[in-house]
A and B are shown apart, each in its own frame.
Chain A
Amino acid sequence: MSALEPTKLDRPRASRNWSAADSGAAKSVAAALRRADLGDRLRSLTLAAPLLVLLALSFGIPLVLLLSRAVYDPTIADALPQTSQALRGWNGTGLPDDAAFLALAADLRSNQAKGTAYELAKSLNARLPGARSQVLKTVRQLEAADRPPLEVMKAVPFWSAPGTWPVIESGTHSVTSFYLLSALDLRWNADGGIERVPPEQAIFVQVFMRTFLVAAAVTLATLVLGFPLAYLIASVPKGLAAILIVAVLLPFWTSILVRTAAWTVLLQKFGLVNDLLLWLGVADDRLDLMYSRIGLIIAMTHIQLPFTLLPIYSVMRTIQPSQMKAAYSLGAKPFTAFRRVYLPQVFPGVMAGCLLTFILCLGYYITPALIGGASDQLISNFIASYVNVELNWEMAAALSFILLVFTLALFGIFARILGLDRLKLV
């Protein structure tokens, strides 16, 4: 009896009264199969390895490093070693003892000597608005050395203000929740609880809300425009469908910057759209389409249309005409047939298209920057500003992290509702 008999390979445990030799043979065959499987898997993994390495080096590691800056900021702790030491016993309420003031003075002077005072001033300023000038002033006075350091420190009211020392204390810990809280317009209060920042300082929650609202509006607009078009393309003969698909994709192949610039030409006060509206008599006066929310949504809708349309189209194409014929023959009126037979089947495509567009909209940067007004800037514009202008990478990382969490949560909800396998992204 051959050890390679298929029934034994299929069901090695099916029979209990095998002879020892038989079971030994079967075991070694199973082991050989496993070895062969492992070899196959390793080989295919080797083929994918260059891509995996590239992804890890160019995406995974930088992402983790950057996002970690949202919670890991050793600048202040590194710059104020003596102060860190001195504050260790402080209970966090009121002012610390004089030793802490002296330690801070010493740290400030040593930073000045190393040339890192400005850096420190900037870091403190990020957490404590107005701290920069106070630090630089104090450093100058300490440099002058005409009074004892303690007197200098006490003479600057900033260092005795109630909010100052808790911030310095929190800065002496390398791992901080400060930026993440700030990204949600929250902060630690003096009692160690979390509170909302004063309304005049609150900004990010509003920006996040705006980002989500714009993304939702654009998604809805692309769906309303794209669904009938996808249906049309899916139902016309092949040749015409190919032409329509090219027409949809043609703008898709143009640079997003070019398309955005084109919209600025069209939407401006004396642009084509306004001319047309006036000529048609739809509008009495020239509308402010540029630098406005509506202009932003129009331009983003145009850019996003293919992303919503293509997944819907690809699902619609797979639905056989006999499905609707069957529904009609079974007595369903056109709307009922559409709602109960067609729509449920294209739903995964609709969800995939909408999800794709929504998530891409959350990260829009160029279009809001060029077409949106000051109050239409989305979260990406703030992140870019923190990276490029304010050089506050910690804040940029915190905002990015919050955005990423929201995006993943949204994706998770979609996947949960629909099942990831049913989400037809292509």
Chain B
Amino acid sequence: MIAEATGLSRDSAGPAPEVNVGSPNTCGRGFVEFVDVEKSYDGRTFAVTRLNLSVARGEFLTLLGPSGSGKTTTLNMLAGFERPTCGVITLEGRSVDRLPPYERNIGMVFQNYALFPHMSVEENVAFPLSVRKTTRADVASRVGRALDMVRLRQFGDRRPAQLSGGQQQRVALARALVFEPSLVLMDEPLGALDKKLREHMQIEIKQLHTMLGVTIVYVTHDQSEALTMSDRVAVFNNGGIAQLGSPDDLYNTPESSFVASFIGENNTLEGKVERVSGKECRVALHGGGSVAALAIGVAEGAACHVAIRPERLKLAPASNGANALAATVEGRIYLGDHQRLLARLESGQVLTVKVGPEATMGNGEPVTVSCAPTDCRAFPADAGTGGSISKTGE
């Protein structure tokens, strides 16, 4: 609809962007490839270690992670602002190691917008065209189309300082897209906006992505943003990728305690693996009680974390092999469409349970919390818990 009107779309009738979920490390096949890339600033510690990543053409890939996890360094290496200490980055099969940023033809959107304050909105958007020696008439029509695309045509004469944060970011988007780069990088572009505007802009960026078919590599530390917008998400931790997958993969089958607690909300119970049998294991919780859980790389006798989503917990007696834990209600948080119940186990650990809006139990009331073993995931306690953000009480 808007795509045809603006004419900015490339191959809008062409094949849908292939989403390369299954085989992330197929060398030489991806649109962008990181092969064994490492980056160190001081020669001792690594900001990025052993990075192998493949981005498919037309994909929306998000690099998600806490600050200092290496995601921005990765983006800067791709943009050309940093050079990898070792390893190779290829763009469309070509190594870009010796290519300066201004020859990479990559659009970039910055967290602080980085609009040029001395130029009007139109001049800002025209900048990438004018440095490419585009003819004057061509510049005018393309700038007009780009501003139409972000619905800012009528603000062309204004200075960036006269626009709101959301409008400024839309100008930055138009400027990064107007020269039709095949790859657009976004470095926490919505970080400076308030929640409502951020959610609105997420949809807008996603629509632009679908409409134009560009490849987008997006950096954020906001997991809900990553889940909302991405085809695939690479969760970064300590300079490497902790897990790479589609949003529902990451949410439903996290492979480490870090990913489990970083993506969405999770209850974490501490315990010790009693025995492993096939895919499942039995965990003795600290302070009493035991649960059956899926074993994700745990060994018998080792300390482990059991992660359970609040919506997977039920307030019902156990039936056919489900875990059941006795608890007392400690509080109830009303959230409109649902409620969160805080349930204290006998061991002292507190679980968050998602319950319906009609639940009425009061404080101190005894309840039984149950869940299927397949909804519990046991991770080794030592690996990758450093940056974990546990949303539940200790």
- Asked if A201 is at the interface (CB within 8 A of a chain B CB), the reply is no
A328 to chain B, nearest CB (A): 4
A409 to B101, CA, bound (A): 46
Residue on A nearest B106 in the bound complex, by CB: A329
A313 to B104, CA, bound (A): 31
- Asked if A340 is at the interface (CB within 8 A of a chain B CB), the reply is yes
Contacts of B176 in A (CB 8 A): 329-330
- Asked if A331 is at the interface (CB within 8 A of a chain B CB), the reply is yes
Contact check, A323 vs B114: say whether CB atoms are below 8 A apart: yes
Known contacts: A320-B112, A322-B112, A323-B114. The answer to whether A329 contacts B107 by CB under 8 A is yes
- Asked if A29 is at the interface (CB within 8 A of a chain B CB), the reply is no
Q: Mark A309-349, 1 if CB is under 8 A from B, else 0.
A: 00000000000101101111111111011001100110000
Indicate which residue in A320, A331, A333, A344 contacts B114 across the interface (CB closer than 8 Å): A320
Contact check, B108 vs A333: say whether CB atoms are below 8 A apart: no
From 288 to 326 in chain A, residues with beta carbon under 8 angstroms from any chain B beta carbon are 320, 322-323, 325-326
Contacts of A341 in B (CB 8 A): 116
Which DSSP category, helix, strand, loop or mixed, fits chain B's interface? loop
A337 to B130, CA, bound (A): 12
Contact check, A325 vs B116: say whether CB atoms are below 8 A apart: no
A332 to B104, CA, bound (A): 11
- Asked if B262 is at the interface (CB within 8 A of a chain A CB), the reply is no
Give the size of the chain B interface in residues (CB under 8 angstroms): 27
Contact check, A331 vs B105: say whether CB atoms are below 8 A apart: yes
Indicate which residue in A322, A330, A336, A340 contacts B175 across the interface (CB closer than 8 Å): A330
Contacts of B103 in A (CB 8 A): 331
Residue on B nearest A325 in the bound complex, by CB: B81
B153 to chain A, nearest CB (A): 20
Tell me how many residue pairs across A and B have CB atoms closer than 8 Å: 67
A326 to B110, CA, bound (A): 8
From 231 to 263 in chain A, residues with beta carbon under 8 angstroms from any chain B beta carbon are none
Contact check, B80 vs A332: say whether CB atoms are below 8 A apart: no
Contacts of B101 in A (CB 8 A): 325, 328-329
B134 to chain A, nearest CB (A): 11
- Asked if B128 is at the interface (CB within 8 A of a chain A CB), the reply is yes
A157 to B351, CA, bound (A): 120
Residue on B nearest A323 in the bound complex, by CB: B114
Known contacts: A331-B102, A331-B179, A333-B102. The answer to whether A326 contacts B114 by CB under 8 A is yes
Contacts of A328 in B (CB 8 A): 80-81, 100-102
- Asked if B127 is at the interface (CB within 8 A of a chain A CB), the reply is yes
A165 to B124, CA, bound (A): 71
Mark A residues whose CB is within 8 Å of B: 320, 322-323, 325-334, 336-337, 340-341, 344-345
Mark B residues whose CB is within 8 Å of A: 79-81, 100-108, 110, 112, 114-118, 127-128, 131-132, 175-176, 179, 185
Query: 26 A-B pairs, CB-CB below 8 angstroms?
Result: A322-B110, A322-B112, A322-B114, A325-B101, A325-B114, A326-B114, A326-B116, A327-B127, A328-B100, A328-B101, A329-B79, A329-B104, A329-B106, A329-B108, A329-B176, A330-B108, A331-B102, A332-B102, A332-B131, A333-B102, A333-B131, A334-B102, A340-B127, A340-B131, A344-B118, A345-B117
**10 further interface pairs, Cβ-Cβ under 8 Å (given A329-B108, A330-B128):** A322-B112, A322-B114, A325-B81, A326-B114, A328-B81, A329-B185, A330-B179, A332-B128, A336-B131, A337-B102
